């Protein structure tokens, strides 16, 4: 079902809602003694005030080589400039 909401002095817009959700919202607005527009505005304010938390991320499991060997002697993995110099010399 499509309803048009008059936001008084702000703007007028059309919102498309599932019939069951609209019925539930209208009942709740009546129960509270407020308009559907006021109920929807309150709901939007609550959602927007909470903000959105980024989804929780789990650390990635990186593969580990167990073959032995390691880095070339003298290579410092914490020195990116030196690593770049070594890689460019080997081309």
Contact 40, 28 (CB under 8 A): no
Structure letter (DSSP) for residue 23: H
Task: In whole angstroms, give the CA distance from residue 60 to residue 83.
Answer: 25
Contact 8, 19 (CB under 8 A): no
Q: Which residues pair with 2 in a beta bridge?
A: 16
Q: What are phi and psi of 60, to 5 degrees?
A: -80, 140
pLDDT tier for residue 21 given thresholds of 50, 70 and 90: very high
The residue that leads in pLDDT, 41 or 51, is 41
Q: What is the pTM of this model?
A: 0.47
């Amino acid at each position: 079902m499509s309803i048009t909401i008059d936001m008084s002095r702000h703007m007028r817009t059309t919102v498309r809602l599932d019939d069951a959700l609209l019925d539930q919202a209208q009942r709740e607005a009546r129960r509270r003694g407020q308009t559907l527009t006021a109920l929807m505005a309150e709901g939007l304010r609550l959602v927007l005030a909470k903000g959105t938390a980024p989804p929780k991320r789990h650390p990635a499991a990186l593969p580990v080589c167990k073959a032995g060997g390691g880095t070339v002697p003298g290579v410092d993995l914490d020195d990116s400039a030196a690593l770049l110099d070594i890689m460019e010399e080997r081309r």
